[in-house]
């Protein structure tokens, strides 16, 4: 029998992207789509691409379900769970940042939902804190070095699509401004740095510094990052580390060929490429910020928690072009 699912904050980008994924997932059925601000509206009126795919009406009355996804603005997941108690046996996956740094909340202990590091803990878990988008792209680029204690001071630049800024209309998501444009924001102070360092340092077993410069790109979907670091390792050693680390991972590919963003857009995949010159290594990584960086990874986590095949419902046709 199919498991029942509720999406809290279904009217936003990550919520609607979950609908696009779960509408065709073989083991679940959508029970309700929760939205306070758009209650009473048909989801396909907000997102016409969902016409015929999902014609549910948004509601502000949550129901008892097997699985709940929280797609709320940061800090509102805690409030929602407090106001809408959820049974202990319900799987809760939070796409916000409320439980990423500190997972204890009432009876629940949220597991950090990066499957490439916590796969065993995620299997059967009831509470999962889904990572941030930049946090996913940068951690996947650095984890194999961290596992060997090889990380030191990292300089990362990352560029993100406009969907990373959500659906609210802002000056920096106005088409006239953003088209053909590039700009920096939250230089050295992006909120994902703490999240990244907490994980990397746990692996690396010694201090790691991350100097992260995020840029806004003139595309809608995707994150591309390049991380630069000094190292004494040879390129072949590093590549081997990465190949070994990701050997069993269905969604991470370490490439010897040039990677680019569109290789992963509309997929749950991450591609990584490593280059080296002198004693400096550069690791590039690319993901779709709404999929491996948010809703796709949430489904991957759900699959693990429910002991389904990890890639169920995630064999997505890439946009490619």
Interface pattern 209-248 for its own copies (x via CB under 8 A): --x-x-x-xxxxxx-x-x-x--------------------
| Pick 78 or 201: Cβ nearer its own copies | 201
Residue 61 near residue 32, CB atoms below 8 Å: yes
Site residues (CB under 8 A) for its own copies, limited to 40-79:
45, 47-49, 51-52
The reply to whether 54 belongs to the active site is no
| Pick 78 or 231: Cβ nearer its own copies | 231
Q: Least CB distance from residue 13 to its own copies, whole Å?
A: 7
Distance of alpha carbon 308 from alpha carbon 44, whole angstroms: 29
Interface pattern 157-186 for its own copies (x via CB under 8 A): x-x-xxx---x-xxx-xxxxxxxxxxxxx-
Site residues (CB under 8 A) for its own copies, limited to 84-103:
none
Dihedral of CA 235/238/240/242: which sign? negative
CA-closest candidate to residue 276, choices 225, 212, 229: 229
- CA distances 228 to 57, 209, 241, 245, 276, Å, are 47, 12, 17, 20, 9
Residue-level length of the chain = 321
Q: How many chain residues are in contact with its own copies, going by CB under 8 A? A: 84
Task: Please give the structure tokens belonging to residue 269.
Answer: 């995949």
Q: Which residue from 36, 253, 308, 312 is in contact with its own copies, where contact means CB under 8 A?
A: 253
Residue with tokens 């370490």: 254
Tell whether residue 264 is a contact of its own copies (CB under 8 A): yes
Site residues (CB under 8 A) for its own copies, limited to 96-135:
none
| Pick 198 or 215: Cβ nearer its own copies | 215
Distance of alpha carbon 252 from alpha carbon 257, whole angstroms: 14
What are φ and ψ of residue 156, in 5° steps? -120, 135
Q: Least CB distance from residue 220 to its own copies, whole Å?
A: 5
Q: Least CB distance from residue 236 to its own copies, whole Å?
A: 17
**Residues with active-site annotation:** 133
């Amino acid at each position: 029998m199919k498991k029942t699912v509720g999406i809290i904050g279904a009217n936003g980008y990550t919520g609607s992207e979950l609908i696009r994924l779960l509408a065709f997932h073989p083991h679940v059925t959508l029970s309700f789509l929760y939205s306070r601000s758009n209650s009473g509206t048909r989801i396909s009126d907000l997102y016409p691409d969902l016409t015929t795919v999902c014609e549910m009406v948004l509601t502000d009355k949550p129901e008892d379900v097997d699985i709940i996804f929280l797609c709320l603005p940061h800090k509102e997941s805690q409030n929602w769970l407090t106001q809408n108690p959820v049974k202990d046996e319900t799987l809760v996956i939070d796409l916000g940042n409320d439980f990423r740094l500190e997972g204890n909340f009432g009876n629940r202990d949220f597991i950090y939902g990066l499957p490439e590091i916590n796969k065993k803990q995620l299997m059967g878990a009831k509470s999962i804190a889904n990572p941030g988008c930049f946090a996913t792209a940068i951690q996947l680029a650095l984890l194999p070095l961290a596992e060997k204690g090889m990380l030191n001071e990292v300089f990362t630049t990352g560029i993100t699509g406009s969907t990373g800024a959500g659906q609210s209309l802002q000056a920096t998501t106005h088409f006239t401004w953003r088209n053909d444009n590039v700009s920096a924001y939250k230089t050295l102070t992006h909120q994902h740095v703490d999240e990244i360092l907490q994980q990397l340092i746990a692996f690396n077993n010694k201090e790691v510094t991350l100097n992260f410069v995020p840029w806004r790109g003139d595309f809608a979907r995707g994150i591309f990052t390049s991380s630069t670091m000094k190292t004494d390792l040879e390129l072949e050693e590093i590549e081997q580390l990465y190949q070994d680390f990701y050997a069993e991972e269905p969604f991470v590919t370490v490439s010897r060929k040039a990677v680019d963003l569109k290789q992963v857009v509309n997929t749950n995949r991450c591609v990584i490429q490593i280059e080296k010159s002198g004693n400096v290594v550069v690791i590039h990584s690319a993901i779709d910020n709404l999929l491996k960086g948010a809703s796709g990874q949430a489904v991957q986590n759900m699959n693990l928690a429910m002991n389904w095949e990890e890639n169920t419902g995630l064999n997505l046709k890439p946009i490619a072009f």
